[in-house]
Amino acid sequence: MRLTKGFWQTYKEVPADAEIPSHQLMLRSGLIHKSGSGLYNYLPMGLRSIRKVENIIREELNKIGCNEITMTVVTPGELWQETGRWDKMGGLMLRFKDKKEADLCISPTNEEAVTDIFRKTVKSYKQLPVGFYQINTKFRDEIRPRFGLMRGREFTMKDAYTFHMDKASLDAGYQEMYDAYTSIFTRLGLEFIPVEADPGAMAAADSKTHEFQVVADVGEDLIIYSQEAQYAANAEKAQTIRTKTEFNLNLSALTEVITPNKTTIEDVCSFLNKPYHYSLKSLVYIATTATESKLILALLLGDDSLNEIKLQSHLKCDHLIAATEEQMKAAKLWKGFIGPVGIFSDIKIVFDKSINIDGSYIIGANKKDTHSEGFNPKRDVKELIQADLRLARAGDLTLDGKHTVVEKRGIEVGHVFQLGDKYTKDMKVGILDQNGKLVTPLMGCYGIGVTRVVAAAIEQNHDANGIVWPKSIAPYQVYFATIVKAEEFVKIADDLYKEMMDAGLEVVYDDRNVGPGNKFKDSDLLGLPYRVVLGERDFGASGELEVIDRKTGIVTKVKKEELVSTLKNLLK
């Protein structure tokens, strides 16, 4: 593209609401244009990158025989009502009525729609397994959209769905998709980790799920990671062991101590001059199932945090919500002074399994401004229940006890998930197996945030001067900056541009009448893999052009006859 003919504009100022580098750089380099809160138009340069991401995804999914379709962006409420998700999806789903007062929504995901296609088309086990995918517009009505394309309201997503006759086939299909994802993110040039994720309390016990996380400081997800052990899991899901801890094994009688206004572990332990893990943290929750609602007291070592998902999964409840101060008061619990002894309400108590039940701990005394020392779980609790409740953290050990894990921040760009029969059951899908028996097929679903991938790639690949694109998804491959005025050199530059184009190279030809400083600044900001400079003086003297690697800054001088072959080699 000749810049004098095409449409591209960079910006110097950083918009106030752009907090992270990728958001700032995408706006400054003219890849996107803000249309409204969480709404971004894709400008030509940005769209080219997005298309490259789409094509890599498409190629890898076509390879494994997944069928590309397109489902409507607006979907009828009826479909969602069949699975009960019309009510359960919550505020992120944008719902509205059409002229005939029929329920519609802008689909944030498409399990119901694809299951409807499947049940109306596939009748025999011979047609299974079968997979579908689409690359399409999605909308989630985030209250606080932020980070540009990273968490926008409208975004492009690839969502895929597979259908299987049995778990073995689902497992095989899941692995195939997992491998395709690995190929996709590798080709995209991203540093990523597939991490074990939590399938949720409602999923089957053997349901698998992984997130594909791009490692980046601004990531909203916490990953527990050990390279040596090849272990990676979302912190919510991670299974680790607390490092060896020295407990207080000197038992003594349970004794109240006055701790005025000391409501946190930090305050109490400082006041009593004890390490945090000599105390127990007490957290009150309300667990709800279809039939009952129950108060829960979760106890952890003072320096540990609760993993709510683990607690919910232990309790097998539908909802788990932290109790409010009012709810605590109603149960005669003093916030900041709660403990497992002397409770006046019906409450279920669960101890984290990292707690050494032979130890002595500081606990809340269930009286205002009072704690107790000398609590010994084994001695002081009648029916002791222990479960894995703590949130994994850096410094923990892998389950085999051999490796120490670290924490990394990740941007979730992909997700693979075994759905099981949730949707096929609710939507009454039946397939005859080879014995003529009606079987409810199993499903998997698999997402990639296409536009988020572009933002994540920039988040991971930039420097002080701008973007440093991975080669596979750069909008163009070469920035051809000319600093020539004499007509003979303009002709050489034009010829070289034509030669590069004819060779199939993707070239931005900066033929604008602006100084070299501006051209180089724009070139660095846009961050195409290679910059080629034709300077009248240098070229006139040595007949050479400069090829500059955006990432390393390494400059190679080449004769014009070698330019195309040099670039082709570099871009391999």
Sites of contact with a second copy (CB under 8 A): 5-7, 9, 30, 33, 35-37, 39-44, 47, 50, 65, 67-76, 78-79, 91, 94, 96, 98-100, 102, 104, 106, 113, 116-117, 120-122, 127, 130, 132, 136-137, 139, 141, 143, 153-154
State the minimum distance, in angstroms, from the CB of residue 51 to a second copy: 9
Nearer Cβ to a second copy (47/254)? 47
- Using DSSP bridges, classify how beta strands 32-36 and 319-322 pair: parallel, antiparallel or unpaired: unpaired
Nearer Cβ to a second copy (176/198)? 176
Question: In DSSP terms, which residues pair with 462 in a beta bridge?
Answer: 467
d(CA 347, CA 561): 82
Closest among 411, 406, 414 to 461, alpha carbons compared: 411
What torsion do the CA atoms of 179, 184, 190, 194 make, to the nearest 10 degrees? -30
State the minimum distance, in angstroms, from the CB of residue 511 to a second copy: 13
Nearer Cβ to a second copy (37/264)? 37
d(CA 91, CA 154): 15
Nearer Cβ to a second copy (137/324)? 137
Is the backbone of residue 40 left (phi > 0), alpha (psi -120 to 50) or beta? beta
Nearer Cβ to a second copy (140/310)? 140
Nearer Cβ to a second copy (44/200)? 44
State the minimum distance, in angstroms, from the CB of residue 39 to a second copy: 5
d(CA 152, CA 449): 11
Nearer Cβ to a second copy (153/415)? 153
d(CA 196, CA 237): 7
d(CA 89, CA 234): 23
Judge contact between 181 and 212, C-beta under 8 A.
yes
Place of tokens 């007509």: 487
Nearer Cβ to a second copy (115/360)? 115
What torsion do the CA atoms of 129, 133, 138, 142 make, to the nearest 10 degrees? 50
Closest among 190, 229, 227, 228 to 212, alpha carbons compared: 190
Please report the DSSP string for 407-427 in residue order. Answer: EEEEEEEEEEEEEETHHHHHT
Nearer Cβ to a second copy (161/469)? 161
d(CA 20, CA 42): 18
Nearer Cβ to a second copy (144/244)? 144
State the minimum distance, in angstroms, from the CB of residue 33 to a second copy: 5
197 burial level (CB within 10 Å; 0-12, 13-18, 19+): buried
Nearer Cβ to a second copy (240/451)? 451
Per the omega criterion (within 30 degrees of 0), is the bond before 129 cis? Answer: yes
Nearer Cβ to a second copy (40/192)? 40
State the minimum distance, in angstroms, from the CB of residue 117 to a second copy: 5
- Using DSSP bridges, classify how beta strands 478-483 and 507-510 pair: parallel, antiparallel or unpaired: parallel
CA 559 to chain centre: 46
**Residue 495 CB contacts under 8 Å (≥ 6 apart), including other chains:** none
What torsion do the CA atoms of 552, 526, 145, 13 make, to the nearest 10 degrees? 110
Tokens of 405: 């894990």
Tokens of 226: 């050990």
CA 340 to chain centre: 37
What torsion do the CA atoms of 478, 479, 481, 487 make, to the nearest 10 degrees? 60
